Amino acid sequence: MTINRALGTCYYPEQWPREQWEQDAKRMAELGLKWVRIGEFAWSRIEPEHGSFEWDWLDQVIEILGQNDLKVVLGTPTATPPRWMIDRHPDIYAADKNGNPRKFGSRRHYCFSHLGYRAECERIVEFLAKRYGQNPHVAAWQTDNEYGCHDTTISYSEAALHAFWQWCEERYGTIEALNEAWGNVFWSMEYSSFEQIDLPNLTVTEANPVHCMAFRRFSSDQVVSFNQLQTEVIKRYSGAPIAHNYMGRITEFDHFEVGEDLEIASWDSYPLGFLEDRIDADETFKHDHARQGHPDFQAFHHDLYRAVGKGRWWVMEQQPGPVNWAPYNPAPLPGMVRLWTWEAFAHGAENVMYFRWRQAPFAQEQMHSGLLRPDSEVAPAFDEASQVASELEALAEDDNVQAKVALVFDYQSAWATDIQPQGKHCHYFDLVFDHYRAARKLGLSIDIISPTCADLSGYELLMIPGLMTLSAPLRAAIEGFVGLVLAGPRTNAKTAEFSIPLPLPPNLPGLNATIEYVESLRQTAKVPLTIPGNFIKWREQLATTGQIVATTTDGEPAIIEHGNIQYVAGWGDQEVLVYLLENMCAKRKVATEKMPNSVRRRDTKNHRFYFNYANQQRTIADRMIEPAGVIWVEHIST
Ligand code: GAL
């Protein structure tokens, strides 16, 4: 499938006087933008009072944009229920872990389980879809806005409790089966009816991990069904594709499952905010990358959402300059907005949309930049967007190629590791991300795949670190896989009902190994290996008849190999992972190229792209690359 690359922006016409709309649309078109997202926070202007609608303004905006050859992504406004909604449904709020309501006055103030709110959402989405479903300018939809953002997936409300009882009954059938599956004989936690089960907050000490896991699964399913409610309505009236805008490092719901009901996955990329806000890296690294962002974090999500979107994905919001919400909010190095945009395209994005068109001088995000300043003069990102728009004239079309390396990302493993980290700094996301980073240091392009992937054909290498429960389809695919598998630590370590499986882990196809016990390590503790590098954070004691690739320097098996599986009995640092991946690539004749620090590479069908995330000049492929520089060469297939 050929990808047609395009640019766009996020626009809030309800925040600006009508007289400005025409001028704005003209400037967008002149800049070379093709798409504009509107509407996702505009409920109070569409329906100022319950049941009384004001459509004129929205009709007009869509018409003006359309007349300027701009395609509209219409957002459903359900992330911002207006104030009158609270009068109708005073118990609409999600509840935090302490049972406190998360109240009106910002956004996302609703509980996914609230049936009254679900009905209100169905109603407003139906009005919108009926009115604009056949509008020629509405070329795509967005459901809600950033599910899970501001920690909103999990709610300990009354509505959630009732829905959870029902969910448990559907999953387990009888209370006896639930007691058995949860091991409730432990600490006399047995129930005699589903209605006796509480949500797993406010317990004296930790709740049963399987109770927590069930609640996490339930919470994720609520997001899936909430989204489904909207997509079903939209599809009745419109043939335009539907997207949702996901976030960086939000793991509380299963994005693959939400993605099943959508045609496009998209995400909101704020590289500088993320570096400060949600990435585990040392101070020096953060200092050196403060104006560029982490060289792998955006790419990781591009690859993840390409998988979630079954090939079709966008950046729905691209950081254009300083944001307002991170602990520090620097301006990007000149050139970075262009780099981020090209990087998204190199990973297969169809569209990159800048957030936002004009900086708002009022309310919560007044310190958040846009393509225009509040006085409508151009901000620095405007010229970079303009440069990309002209570069796109020659490079609008391209295609993805399947990578040689596949990496599984599994939301359930993230929940399981959150619930039972066993060591303070053990996060599933970080473990997977460490593998991703190591592969990227070797210049590899990577496909992230779902944990139920049943087809590994075309791959030479598969990585399944920390994958808590190996699904039946993936197990079958591994059994027939001709490439190499890198597994461990903690792979296949739990049953689906959160117990230690028998036979003991890792129990992988063809691998003779037993984990006798595990240890988590203090941050200062490093376990050196007989290959370059150390185990950090985590270590497993292995018994095996397999071949030993490396031991710890105290003589215990650290990395073993049996058939086509290598099992790593610890959390390898970057040196370990780069070493292993390089060797595995060599064995499978996958070409690697060691990247200079903070330079990354990605191949599309037609080009090989290089991106310089360093704040210094680098040399790559015999060429100088400036800080924030992007270069591309005609792709020579390897
Ligand atoms: C996103 C959100 C936008 C805006 C932006 C600011 O998370 O979807 O509405 O708040 O952040 O960076």
Residue 283 designated active-site: no
Pocket test of ligand 1: the residue of 14, 146, 147, 354 to mutate, having most ligand atoms within 8 Å of its CB, is 146
What is the bridge-based pairing of β-strands 351-354 and 534-544? unpaired
Q: Over pLDDT 90: what percentage of the chain?
A: 98
> Which atom from ligand 1 is nearest to the alpha carbon of 247?
7
Report CA(424)–ligand 1 centroid distance (Å).
30
Q: Which is nearest to 514 in space by CA: 577, 463, 569, 553?
A: 569
Mean pLDDT across the stretch 250-257? 98
Q: What is the pLDDT of residues 421-472, one digit of tens each?
A: 999 999 999 999 999 999 999 999 999 999 999 999 999 999 999 999 999 9
Which among 355, 357, 358, 371 is the best mutation to test ligand 1's pocket, defined by most ligand atoms within 8 Å of the CB? Answer: 355
Helix (H, G, I), strand (E, B) or coil at 112: coil
- Give the pLDDT score at 517: 98
pLDDT at 637: 57
pLDDT-derived band at 545 (thresholds 50, 70, 90) equals confident
Residue 183, token pair as written in the block: 């091991």
Segment 290-319, tens digit of pLDDT: 999 999 999 999 999 999 999 999 999 999
Alpha helices in 68-114 (DSSP H): 83-88
Q: Ligand 1 mean position to 480 CA, how many Å?
A: 44
Q: Whose CA is nearest to atom 12 of ligand 1?
A: 323
* 638: pLDDT strictly greater than 90: no
pLDDT of 177: 98
- Sorting pLDDT into bands at 50, 70 and 90, what band is 402? very high
pLDDT of amino acid 546: 83
Question: Taking residues 395-413, what's their average pLDDT?
Answer: 96
Ligand 1 pocket, mutate which of 317, 318, 329, 364 (most atoms under 8 A from CB): 317
Give the C-alpha separation, 365 to 329, whole Å.
Answer: 13
Cα–Cα distance list, 455 to 162, 259, 265, 482, 587 (Å): 39, 19, 21, 12, 21
Q: Which of 132-136, 493-497, 621-625 has the lowest mean pLDDT?
A: 621-625
User: Tokens standing for 483?
Assistant: 């490439």
146 in catalytic set? yes
User: Is 355's C-beta closer than 6 angstroms to any atom of ligand 1?
Assistant: yes
Overall average pLDDT of the 247-251 stretch = 98
Pair of tokens at residue 543: 């018994």
Q: What is the side-by-side order of every strand in the sheet holding 607-612?
A: 599-603, 607-612, 630-634
Q: Tell which one of 323, 354, 365 to mutate to probe ligand 1, the residue whose CB is within 8 A of the most ligand atoms.
A: 365
Residue 450: predicted pLDDT: 98
Topology classification of domain 405-587: Rossmann fold (3.40.50)
- State the DSSP code for 15: G
Helices 297-308 and 336-346 cross at an angle (nearest 10°) of 40
Residue keyed to tokens 């109070």 = 44
Q: Which of 40, 146, 350, 391 is catalytic?
A: 146
| Residue 375 to residue 373: CA distance in whole angstroms | 5
| Residue 251 beta carbon below 6 angstroms from any ligand 1 atom | no
CA distances from 67 to 7, 58, 345 (A): 17, 14, 27
Task: List residues bridging with 407 in a β-sheet.
Answer: 448, 463
The C-alpha atoms of residue 608 and residue 625 are separated, in whole angstroms, by 14
- For the segment 259-267, the average pLDDT, to the nearest whole number, is 98
Q: Is 175 left (phi over 0), alpha (psi -120 to 50) or beta?
A: alpha
Q: Is the pLDDT of residue 636 over 70?
A: no
Q: Under DSSP, is residue 589 helix (H, G, I), strand (E, B) or coil?
A: coil
Helix (H, G, I), strand (E, B) or coil at 636: coil
Query: Which atom of ligand 1 is nearest to 41's Cα?
Result: 9
Cis peptide before 361 (omega within 30 of 0): no
**Measured in whole angstroms, how far is the alpha carbon of residue 368 from the centre of its chain?**
22
Mean pLDDT of the region 480-505 = 98
Secondary structure of residue 276 in the 3-state scheme: helix
The per-residue pLDDT of the chain, averaged, comes to 97
380 CA distance to ligand 1 centroid (A)? Answer: 19
CA-CA-CA-CA torsion sign (155, 157, 160, 165): positive
The count of other CB atoms within 10 Å of the CB of residue 512 is 12
Dist. CA 268 → ligand 1 center (Å) = 8
Distance, CA of 12 to CA of 356 (rounded, Å): 8
Q: Do the strands 6-10 and 351-354 form a parallel or antiparallel pair, or are they unpaired?
A: parallel
Residue 621: its pLDDT value, please?
87
pLDDT at 635: 76
Indicate the pTM of the whole model.
0.98
Q: 307 CA distance to ligand 1 centroid (A)?
A: 23
Res. 325: pLDDT tops 90: yes
Beta pairing, strands 618-620 & 623-625: antiparallel
- In which residue ranges of the chain is CATH 3.40.50.880 found? 405-587
CA nearest to 9, candidates 343, 368, 346, 372: 372
Taking CA atoms only, the protein residue closest to ligand 1 atom 1 is: 268
Q: Give the distance, in angstroms, between the CA of residue 524 and the centroid of all CA atoms in the same chain.
A: 30
Spacing, Cα 469 to ligand 1 middle (Å): 34
Question: Cβ(270) to ligand 1 under 6 A?
Answer: yes
- Give me the catalytic one of 257, 317, 391, 582: 317
- Above 60 in pLDDT, residue 118? yes
From the CB of 447, is ligand 1 less than 6 Å away? no
Contact 105, 198 (CB under 8 A): no
C-alpha 489/C-alpha 526 separation (Å) is 15
The radius of gyration of the chain from alpha carbons, rounded to an integer in Å, stands at 25
Does 153 sit in the ligand 1 pocket, CB within 6 Å? no
**CB-CB contact of 83 with 58 (8 Å):** no
Helix axes 158-172 and 209-237, enclosed angle (nearest 10): 100
pLDDT digits (tens, 9 = 90+) for 376-388: 999 999 999 999 9
